Structure formats: structure tokens, C-alpha cells
Chains A and B, each alone.
Chain A
Amino acid sequence: MSDSPALELRSIEKAYGAVMANRAVSLKVERQSIHALVGENGAGKSTLMKIAYGHVRADAGEIWIKGEHIARHSVSQAIARGVGMVHQHFMLVGTLTVVENVVLGQEPRRAGLLDLERAASEIRALSQRFGLDVDPGTRVEDLSVGQQQRVEIVKVLWRGCDVVILDEPTAVLTPAEVRDLFVVLRGLVKDGMTVVLITHKLDEVLAIATRVTVMRRGERVAEYEADGLTAEQIVHAMVGRPVQQHIDKQPVRAGAPMLEVRELHVTDARGCPALRGVDLPVRAGEILGIAGVEGNGQTELVEALVGLRAIDRGTVAISGKIVTGAPVAERYGAGLAHVPEDRHDRALVLEYSIQDNLILGQQRDFTGRFDVVDRGRVREHADKLIREFDIRPPDPGHLVRAMSGGNQQKLVVARELSRRAVAVLICAQPTRGVDIGAIEAIHRRMIEARDRGLAVLLLSAELSELRGLSDRLAVLYKGEIVATLEQDQLRADDALDTIGAMMTGAWKRDTASRGEEVRR
């Protein structure tokens, strides 16, 4: 009994409409292993694990947990048998404390009254045992994203689960937080637990997994022992062809500044200062990267540039034209293009078709007499971009909601680059939650745009992406640009650590190397 796998899936089938999300997938997760499930977006990893967790019902196939066949699977069945899941988007109530969040739905009672004290001491014990550093009394909204994730892990452990499924756990973490998480996960396994990790970041897989299963287009295409495995092998299996991981680009030939930001002051939604005197020139033909831990003013910077957020002080100029107080449409007219940080939030209307989303923001350019939309031209435009950017499915009438994340993002990039007379391209998190094939395509497009003479502003949480693409890199910390690194500094071996230190404010200005912006 005890040597049966912690989790076993046999011939799982799942279709979403005409799309097969899982096609006869079988998977064995051995006890006390860290099993990585890798694959591009839309490969079916999340679906498979949601099926294992009882969140989604499979069309066919069997689920076995610790040698027991589960006939009618549900989330409560999974938890009762010790399988827990930490979702990519946390399920926490911000205004409640850690202990309240953990017990929510399974509140311990004593004499009919809520007994939080007992739960709190249990949480403290778990936290200590696994080095989670979680204080039961803190309110969740006061925690960093990394700490919130650990609350989710505590929640799973407190419910007595010993098989923990984590869906893209590192997507929201800084490099240091990722390292901490891995320490925690190794501790769990040492203690007899089993971890399933859904990810598409290969360095992480190689760093922590003991076994690796690769999925592609709903099928299990390969499975490896992690020992001696290389990134190239995994990528090849994921994409089905060899992929160039290195970003190639010509030396920079920067021209006149196309985007000029001077002394920009902006307040955030809560009325606190979000940007405190930001100066940024972005020149034609260069990619200026912005590094920073999320929440240091990146979102507000982009919103202020696009015209979605009021500017308190300072000026913004696009192609030499001052647009500080101008409405959104006028800025696009001045030569702006914008890939928003969250495609579902600001970039797409999910209920619209591919062709309609491809003109969103340019709808005025696609009208004929009496302001009527020229359907023929919309269709032509869509056909052209779908071909040029390899957007799938290649059907202009397809609903965007039913596309994979990578193709949705390709659509947004295609649309923005198809604008008339673009001079400035703002890309915020352009490859977040996007598969490797799409990342490659999007990076290539950005470099092409730069070589065509566009001024590109890139904001990203991926340091390797910033380092690979940027010609210069500015670090944003608490609403200020604390340093700007030039090309040779970016190439230095310890560049990632330097940037990381700057991002967390651990870096002192007076010991800065050259390139720093000295102000005030």
C-alpha cells in the first residue's frame, strides 16, 4: 500500500469544445518526489492538475490517490485524501488575518464557538517546522506576494494534505523569493510529502525537480529523471523542435529621443505618491528596460504615459509633441503603441472576435461613410496580421476568450505594431504567462521594432528578459529611478545580482558605479 504512487492518473481525457485539453494522459507521481509538469501555455498541465484536484471533471480516465481509486472525484474528496492545491491566483481574503484565512471553510470550534487560538498555534508550529515564517495574526493584505503564497501553502498543510500541487508558483516571485520557496519545498519532501509543480520555467525545473513530465498540445510527450537532464532536451520536447534561447540583436543605433518624460509625479489609486520625479528619455532605435519589484510605480508609469492616469506634475512628450494632459486617443495619434501589462484587463475584449480585437484602439481608421465600420477592411487587416504573426487559430471570427494566452498576447503585439506611424512602443510584461514559442516570437518582434527605429520602453518582472533585450536599463524603486545601467554594465557577469540588489533598495547610491542618475 505505502509504495503505491502518491497520485496516479490513468488515460485522462478532457475536451473543451473542439479542443482536446488532455488526450489519454497518464501520470504517476511517486511519493516524496518533486514532480515537475512542464509545457507551453495551453499544453493542458493546469487542466490535468485541476482534474487531479477534483476541480474539473474529466471526460474519461481514472484517478488514483495513494493506491485508492476515486470514483466520483471532487475537491473535498481530494483534500480528504491529502491532495491540496495552491492556485496561480491566490484565494485569500485580504481583510482577514492569516489564521482566519487558513481556517476559512473548516473553522475549528470549541463549545460551539470559533477557536482560533488552537489553529494559530498549529500554524505557528507548521511555520516553524518548514521555515515558512508566517505569523498567524497578520492581516493578509499587509503581506508581500511571496508571503501570501506561503499562507496558501500553510492552508494546504493545515488541512492535513501531504500531496501539494502548485500551479505556476514562481510567476509572481522575485528571484530571492523563488530561492526561499525552493528551500520550503525541499523541506516538505524531506518530511515525507510530495510536491507537484506546474511551470514553464526551465531553470527552475532543473534546480528543484526530481522527475519531469513534459506535455504538448494535451498529450504527455516525454518523461525524464531530472538527473543529467538539460534545458535543451526539455525545450525540444515542449516545443517539438529546437529553440534558440539566446536573444540575438545588432548593436544599438539610437537616434533622437521619441519619448521624453520629465519630472513626472503621479499618485496611485489610494492617493499615495506612486511616481516621484521620474525622468526618462527613450531614443529612437533603442530598448529601454525598466526593472523593479512589482508595485514600485511601474503600473502608474505606464498609465500616466498612455493617459489612463492623471499626471500631477511633470511633462510627457511623444515624438516631440507634449501630450501631458491629452486624452488617450490623441497620444496614440502622436505615435504611441501600448502592450498593456495584463491582457485581460486593458488589452482585450474577450467577448469580441479576433478581427474585432485587432482593430480595438484603431476603430476610427476602419470606418467608411457615416462612421460605419468597414467590415471588409477589418477582415483583410485580420487575415494579414494572422498570417504575419502566426496567430492561432487562424480564424478571424474566433472568440478571443477561447484562445491560448500566448496567442492572445501575439494578437495584442500584432495590433499595436500595426498602428499607423508608430514611434514609441510601450511593452509592459509582454511575455507574462506566455509559452516559449510565443515568447520567442514576441521578442523577435520587439527587436525588429527597435531596428526599425522605434523607441521601445520595456517593463518586465523577468530579469533575464530585461537583460537580454534592453540596450539600457533603469531601475525603479519606490517611484524613483535609482539607477540606469548601460550596455557594458548589463553584460557583466554579476549584472543580475546588481540589478536585484537595486530593485530591493539594498543598494547604496553613493557606492554606485557610473551610469547612475544623480538627482536632488
Chain B
Amino acid sequence: MRRELLTIAIAMLLAVLAGSLLIWFVGKSPLEVYGLLLSRTWGTSNGFGEVLFKSTPLILTGLAVAVAFKVGLFNIGAEGQLAAGSFVTGLCGAALPASLPGPVAVVLCVLAGMLAGAAVGGLAGVLKVRYGAHEVINTIMLNFVVSAVTLWAGNAYFFVKYTVHTAAISSNAVLSPLGFTGSKANTSLLLAIALAGAVWYFFNRTRRGFEWRAVGHNPRAAENAGVRLGGVVIGAMAISGALAGAVGTNYVLGYKQYFERGMGTGTGVMGIAVALLGRNHPAGIVAAALLFGTLSHGSLVVAEEVPKETFQILQAVIILAVACGSVYLGRRARARGAHV
């Protein structure tokens, strides 16, 4: 645990140094730019709200990737799962009668989105268990399928004429903003944090979580302990998909109030980085999502100083440094003779 925190600290330091070099290269003072970045994100109410808004979907996709990873699976398909979830959340919101009480409408929309995500993720699991196709291939391919299906179905039936978005959701399903001086942050952040807590509780306290972790560490021993591996794979992929499917809550119910093609693109892939940096631990994932949310919004607020690509590079450097650092430290630990 201490070693992991150290890895992350060193990686961040390296990344900040690399970023300084880049900023210096475009002719600005690194100190000044970093200072601006911090003061315009965490320093202002609106900036902080925007950071929270950007972090919310990252928490969810980070959790999605982590759940799959805990049982030894790579879910590269959070992208498709969140698209399916957002689409269905949007449709559900638009279809609900305005007479429904707000909480009921919200719960229905969230559940619909999570179910859609679970269906896409679970399908990748079924393909693996039933036909032996690798989940990386399955999830990547399903990303394309979902993208194409939502576009076709949207154009054919659901999109408002001459647009690529669905009709507005009924007003009782709209999530209330969290305040922060007009920022887009909304109550879906609370849902994301609650789900992070639920994931932690599931893995660390329940019998099924105990079994799932065992599968992740040693599937052959888990099988011998009476765990049915196929069921775990499908279940984990479905839960993973459900978490990604909840992303629509933030964009659809909390912000745009309709589904739009391309909504949330990239957050699925960033989820992998969030899970990696957060070490697949729910608390770590929340922290990592906040960091990436900060960088993402930060790159916009200092755009007049340095090109926003600078901070995209910075994010990538952090991820690379963490990935390399953990492997390197792991190898050092083994050489020093950690028991095998």
C-alpha cells in the first residue's frame, strides 16, 4: 500500500516536471500556468463545480473498468456501454409521463441506463463464456455495434428532425444542480460516490465479492472452491457495463436533458486510466477521477496561455509513469526477495 502511494507520487512528480518542460517550450512560465490552472479550477466556485461535473463520469467508468479487472477481465468497452446507457436513459426520460413523481422518474431513467449498459457488457461476457472469444475483442467490437445501432435507431425513430439528439426528457426526471455558481455539477455525483461505496462493500464484505476476488487472483482455485467461473465472468461484465451505463445520468439527466450522439465519447477510455491510477480501489478511483477532471477542465481555463493539448499530454504522461513505475517497483521488490 505504501509502495503504491509512493509510485503514484513519483509518477505525478515526473509528469509535472515533463509538463513544465512543455509549458516552458511554448514560451510560458510553468509556475504561472500551474498556478492559474489551480486557481481557476479549485480556486473558484464555478471552476470547482466544473471539475466535479467532469469527474463524475470518470468515477463511473473507472469503477466499471476496476470491477472487471478485479475478476481478471479487461473491459475495454465502457465506451459502448455508456453510449447504450445514455441512449436508453434519454429515451426513457422522454417517454415518461410528466405526471410521475420526480424521484420515481429519476430512478427509472437511471435503472434503464444501467440495464442497457449491463446488457452490452453482459453480452461480451456471454460471448466469452459460451464461445471462448476474448473479452477485449468482444468489448471493442461491441463499441462499434452500439455506436452504429444508436445512430441508426436515432435517425430512423428517435432523433429530433435535422439533429442528432433525442427529444427532451420530461422535466420531472431532470437532476438538480449542485450549485457552485452556475456550474454543470449535478446530483449524479452523489450517485457515482454511492456506487463507489457499493462496489467497495460488495468486494470486501459480501460472499460473492469474496468469490469474485478469488477468481481474479486464482481462477483455478476458485473453481475448486465451488465457484462457477462462467457465471462470475458474465456477472462481472454485466455489473461493469451497468456502472458505465450510469454515465448517462450525468450528461442526460443532469446536463443536456436529451441524448446526443457522441455524448461522453472518450470517458470510457479514460476510465481505464482512472482505474489504473486509482489502483482499482474505489477511493483511489474517486481521487484519480478528480485529478483527471481537474486536468480536463484546467486545460480549458488556461487555453489562452498554453494550447489545451499540453494537458492532454500531461494526462498521458501521468498514466505512462504510473504504469511503468508500478512494474518497475514490483520488479525491484521481487529482486529484493519478496516471497514467491
Contacts and interface: CB of A to CB of B under 8 A. Distances in A.
B226 A349 contact: no
Contacts of A350: 217-218
A372 B337 contact: no
A346 B229 CA distance: 14
Interface in B226-266: 226, 228
B224 A340 contact: yes
Chain A residues touching B, range: 35 or more
Contact of B207 (A21, A347, A364, A402): A364
**What secondary structure prevails in chain B residues at the interface with A?**
helix
A338 interface: yes
B146 interface: no
Nearest to A331: B226
Contacts of A346: 220-221, 223-224
Contact of B214 (A332, A338, A352): A352
Contacts of A371: 206-208
Contacts of B223: 308, 328, 346
A308 B222 CA distance: 11
Interface string A365-386: 0110011110000000000000
Contacts of A347: 221, 224
B328 interface: no
B226 A332 contact: yes
B161 interface: no
A433 interface: no
Interface stretch (A113-121, A207-215, A355-363): A355-363
B50 interface: no
A304 to B, nearest CB: 13
A14 B336 CA distance: 10
Interface string A15-33: 0110001000000000000
B208 A345 contact: no
B268 to A, nearest CB: 28
Given A14-B337, A350-B217, A350-B218, A372 B206 contact: yes
Interface string A224-246: 00000000000000000000000
B210 interface: yes
Contact of A308 (B211, B213, B224, B339): B224
Given A16-B337, A329-B226, A363 B217 contact: no
Nearest to A365: B207
Contacts of A57: 335
A345 B217 contact: no
B217 A349 contact: yes
For B210, B217, B340, the residue with the greatest tally of chain A CB atoms inside 10 Å of its CB is B210
Interface residues of B, number: 23
A87 interface: no
Interface string B265-302: 00000000000000000000000000000000000000
A54 to B, nearest CB: 12
A322 interface: no
Interface string A92-114: 00000000000000000000000
B225 interface: yes
B220 to A, nearest CB: 5
Contact of A363 (B220, B224, B225): B225
B156 interface: no
A278 B337 CA distance: 45
Interface string A55-68: 01100000000000
Contacts of B213: 349, 352
Contacts of A16: 337-339
Interface in A309-343: 327-329, 332, 338, 340
A456 interface: no
B130 interface: no
A351 interface: yes
A363 B210 contact: yes
A352 B222 CA distance: 12
Contact of B210 (A21, A370, A373): A373
Contacts of A351: 217-218
B230 to A, nearest CB: 11
A363 B211 contact: yes
B2 interface: no
Contacts of A372: 205-207
Contacts of A340: 224
Nearest to A399: B339
Nearest to A330: B226
Contact of B226 (A352, A361, A402): A361
B224 A328 contact: yes
With a 10 A CB-CB cut-off, give which of A338, A346, A402 has the most chain B CB atoms: A346
A348 B222 CA distance: 8
Interface of B: 205-208, 210-211, 213-214, 217-218, 220-226, 228, 335, 337-340
Given A308-B224, A346-B220, 7 more contacts: A306-B224, A327-B228, A328-B226, A347-B224, A361-B226, A364-B226, A371-B206
25 contacts: A16-B338, A21-B337, A56-B337, A306-B224, A308-B224, A327-B228, A328-B226, A346-B221, A347-B224, A348-B218, A350-B217, A350-B218, A356-B210, A360-B221, A361-B224, A363-B207, A363-B210, A364-B226, A371-B206, A371-B207, A372-B205, A373-B207, A401-B339, A401-B340, A402-B339
Interface of A: 14, 16-17, 21, 47, 56-57, 306, 308, 327-329, 332, 338, 340, 345-352, 356, 360-361, 363-364, 366-367, 370-373, 401-402
